[in-house]
Chains A and B, each alone.
Chain A
Amino acid sequence: MEVNQYLEMFIEESKEHLQACSEHLLELEKNPDDLAIVGEIFRSAHTLKGMSATMGFEDLADLTHKMENVLDAIRNEKIHVTPEILDVVFESVDHLEEMVMDIANGGDGKRDVSSTVAQLKRIESGEEAIPEIVATTSETPSEASVLEYDGFEQTVITQSTEQGFNAFEISVRLREDCLLKAARVFMVFEILEKDGDVIKSSPTVERLEDEQFDQQFYVAFVTKESAEDMQKKLMKVSEVEEVNVATIDHGKFSEKEYEVHNEVAATAMLEEVATPAPTPVPAKSATPAKAEKSHAPVGNKTIRVNIERLDILMNLFEELVIDRGRLQSIATEVNHTELNETVERMSRVMGDLQTIILTMRMVPVETVFNRFPKMIRQLSRDLNKKINLEIIGAETELDRTVIDEIGDPLVHLIRNSVDHGIENPTARRAKGKPEEGTVELRAYHSGNYVFIEIEDDGAGINREKVLAKAIAKGVVTQEQSFLMSDKQINELILASGFSTADVISDVSGRGVGLDVVKTTIESLGGNISIESTQDVGSIFSIQLPLTLSIISVMLVEIEKEIYAIPLSSIIETSIIRSSDIMNAHNQKVIDFRGKVVPLVFLEEIFEVPRKELQDDEFHSVVIVRKGEKLAGLVVDSFIGQQEIVLKSLGNYLTNIFAISGATILGNGKVALIVDCNALIK
């Protein structure tokens, strides 16, 4: 079998299964008696084992197998869940994650896990568990059914047999030289559906239709027909080599929920790579109980797309948007009705297309957040602190590229909150706080930005300590420090070469400071701020652009230069009289709806060369905001609103004051985008 072809899929699915394991393990820790959760973990582990064995990652399969044994023992109530056991299982999951990461990075997934394996074995054999487990795992394949059934499917089979139906497990093997495998599968299914209902198949129907199987597939089937008749009917399909019809022994279900199979041969790949929950045959088994199965992923088909392809699509689309701009300006000039209509229609379609392309790149921030519960658990055990992690807004969506980058900074900040922020239980009690500290991780949209906040109710930032350290390290001078606001002082901890920990701990003392966090976030076009109150807690707030590379702007003109002001910052535009401009502290201001708003003359800020001084009585002003603060940007004239494609100025021109990027106008010229945030202090 060509392994590389499946490698990417294997890695993605392994990650998903491991994530599911972690989540369920955390759940299990809270409800140690809930054996249904163990079943879930077991299923993920089992799938992972089969997948890795088929892909030839023996170490991975082996460790999973050992872990599975422990889970099986828990499931069969041979051992009880204790924090110590969970520690070891968590450790195994960590190892597995490392192995998968290694494979993803081109490695062979080998790793020294002997101590974990020894511990797993010890747990497994600690009590009376060992003989039974050997018995279950070494069960001969001939007795075991190949398919696994979940609770729902078992019920269907049990009920059907009680009503006089026969439940069969049918294996169909196609001839090796079979050319149209999917067609044969279709014919087989057609016969089956005439005579009864297909409960499930392995591989799933989608896979069968895509010919993603070798020669053999399995079907669970309920019917009034006899086994012999079914066998004969199916053998009528040409190119079918062998049909085996075996009765499903539903009595087995009561004894054990799932059978454990050890065979990882050819069939395993087909079976195990399938989704973790046994996928029912969509819409084909019209059993009445069908509707109950609400979690069946029917009709929600997804496809994994390489992010590079999306980027290419995005770039091509940007080109289109630029051309549309050009077309629009031509259409306005020509003023031809049909042309206008066509351009208009095209614009509408492109609008829809744009939404689709942009949402395609959006991923819920959950994919980053879901690694934190486990991390917090580990940290609180390492540091002997009690910590409760609350996650809010995990469904908030962010651009995929941002998601990929934001993980590490968040890990850093959370570690910082837990390590430096949250006090140990004794100290907390002394301060009259609950022993258990809380870290809240929030994500939400606001305007064109996504905010991610990490709030803890810990000790807060010690102003004096930070200042003393900053001065000692030469980050600021004594004189400067007198002029600094509390916020500025807090943010000193983001300065390079700064660490407030008296003793470098295992947790945050990794040789990198929070300055790395700041740099990463700024490289994403975002920024980070810190609020902190001593003994009450701190909030790290990260503001990230949605990186929607297409934004709406207002184009304005100053002399001959065109600038774009993002619509998201604009409140409104107005024309003011020179006589309405007032002077305050050398700053020109206007009265805007009862509010004093400072004026920013863009021509001065941008040093626009003027041929001749103009002395207009009226000024065009764009009122922009940054948070609560307003400013009026004075320009020569407004051109109008337009959708533009955000382009970076490249790596040579970085940190240009008040310019956040550039765009290409309909006439092919470059226009700069004004960064209103930089213009408002």
Chain B
Amino acid sequence: MTNAVEQENIKVIVFQLADKEYAIPVSHVQGIEKLMHITRVPKTANYVKGVINLRGVVTPIVDLRERFELPISEHEETTRIIIISLEDMEVGFVVDSANDVIDIPANSIEPQPEVVGSLEEEFISGVAKIDKRLLILLHLEKVLNPLK
């Protein structure tokens, strides 16, 4: 978190997942895509939906609802794929919708509440309260690492 403290604001992309709002630093986001044909890759974790052709690059797709063990929903008109790049990985996250880019003051980020108790808890690096919205900041490394 030291990094975050030094900076005044963090620009994040906000997306929706089962009525909650999550945030990913914009620096890790390569782009937001509409849903396209996903080729299933056999023998992978259930939350790995497969791979897409992202302008010539084969990119794996992770369904975040399934990753967080949230109830599965049908893909809608608003469903988006957020392309994340982390270290030398590029992965697309399927989310319910993504439409917001906001600046959050670094000092508004708090550690996650201890009593969340759900599986998604371990993927969270903190929460930020902006006006009346509660943004959940994702811990990308953990989201992209297989569960132990």
Seen from chain A, the residues whose Cβ lies within 8 Å of a Cβ on chain B are: 318-319, 322, 561, 605-608, 647-653, 656-659, 662, 664, 668-672
Contacts and interface: CB of A to CB of B under 8 A. Distances in A.
Contacts of A318: 56
Contact of A319 (B37, B56, B58): B56
Contacts of A605: 42
B3 interface: no
B39 interface: yes
Interface stretch (B5-13, B85-93, B117-125): B85-93
Contacts of B52: 670
Interface in B36-62: 37, 39-44, 48, 50-53, 56-60
A650 B39 contact: no
Contacts of A662: 39, 51, 58
Contacts of B51: 649, 653, 662, 670, 672
Contacts of A647: 57-58
A671 B37 CA distance: 11
B44 A650 contact: no
A259 B37 CA distance: 73
A331 B48 CA distance: 35
A672 B43 contact: no
Given A650-B90, A659-B41, A670-B51, 20 more contacts: A605-B42, A606-B42, A607-B42, A608-B42, A647-B58, A649-B58, A650-B58, A652-B60, A652-B89, A652-B90, A656-B43, A657-B42, A658-B42, A659-B43, A662-B39, A662-B51, A668-B37, A670-B50, A670-B58, A672-B42
Nearest to A562: B39
Interface in B65-113: 87-91
A650 B89 contact: yes
A652 B144 CA distance: 8
A608 B42 CA distance: 8
29 contacts: A319-B56, A606-B42, A607-B42, A649-B51, A650-B57, A650-B58, A650-B59, A650-B60, A650-B91, A652-B60, A652-B90, A652-B91, A653-B41, A653-B48, A653-B60, A656-B41, A656-B43, A658-B43, A659-B41, A659-B42, A662-B51, A662-B58, A664-B53, A668-B37, A669-B39, A670-B39, A670-B52, A672-B39, A672-B41
Query: Which 5 pairs from chain A and chain B are nearest by CB?
Result: A606-B42, A670-B39, A662-B58, A647-B58, A657-B43
Contacts of B50: 670
A308 to B, nearest CB: 17
B41 A649 contact: yes
B40 A561 contact: yes
B46 to A, nearest CB: 11
Interface of B: 37, 39-44, 48, 50-53, 56-60, 87-91, 144
A589 to B, nearest CB: 23
B53 A669 contact: yes
B86 to A, nearest CB: 9
A649 B50 CA distance: 10
A530 B37 CA distance: 43
A589 B144 CA distance: 41
A265 B44 CA distance: 66
B43 A607 contact: yes
A318 B53 CA distance: 14
B59 to A, nearest CB: 7
A409 to B, nearest CB: 22
Contacts of A656: 41-44
Nearest to A645: B56
A664 B48 contact: no
A258 to B, nearest CB: 52
Contacts of B48: 653
Contacts of A664: 53, 56, 58
* Chain B contact residues, majority secondary structure: strand
Contacts of B53: 664, 668-670
Nearest to A662: B58
Contacts of B44: 653, 656
A319 B44 CA distance: 28
A28 B41 CA distance: 59
A670 B37 CA distance: 8
A585 B91 CA distance: 42
B58 A651 contact: no
B36 to A, nearest CB: 9
Nearest to A602: B42
Nearest to B51: A670
Contacts of B43: 606-607, 656-659
Contact of A671 (B39, B56, B59, B87): B39
A319 B55 CA distance: 10
Contacts of B56: 318-319, 322, 664
B78 to A, nearest CB: 23
Contacts of A658: 42-43
Contacts of B91: 650, 652
Nearest to A319: B56
Contacts of B39: 561, 662, 669-672
Contacts of A672: 39, 41-42, 51
Given A669-B53, A670-B52, A670-B58, A651 B89 contact: yes
Contacts of A669: 37, 39, 53
Nearest to A603: B42
A659 B44 CA distance: 11
A651 B42 contact: no
Contacts of A607: 42-43
A313 to B, nearest CB: 15
Contacts of A670: 37, 39, 50-53, 58
B101 to A, nearest CB: 24
Contacts of B40: 561
A633 to B, nearest CB: 14
Contacts of A608: 42
Which of B39, B44, B88 has the most CB atoms of chain A within a 10 A radius of its CB? Answer: B39
Nearest to A647: B58
Nearest to A318: B56
A318 B37 CA distance: 21
Which of B37, B40, B41, B42 has the most CB atoms of chain A within a 10 A radius of its CB? Answer: B42
A617 B40 CA distance: 28
A12 to B, nearest CB: 29
Which of B41, B48, B89 has the most CB atoms of chain A within a 10 A radius of its CB? Answer: B41
Contacts of A668: 37, 53
A21 to B, nearest CB: 39
A609 to B, nearest CB: 8
A651 B88 contact: yes
Contacts of A649: 41, 51, 58, 60
Contacts of A650: 57-60, 89-91
A660 to B, nearest CB: 12
A319 B144 CA distance: 29
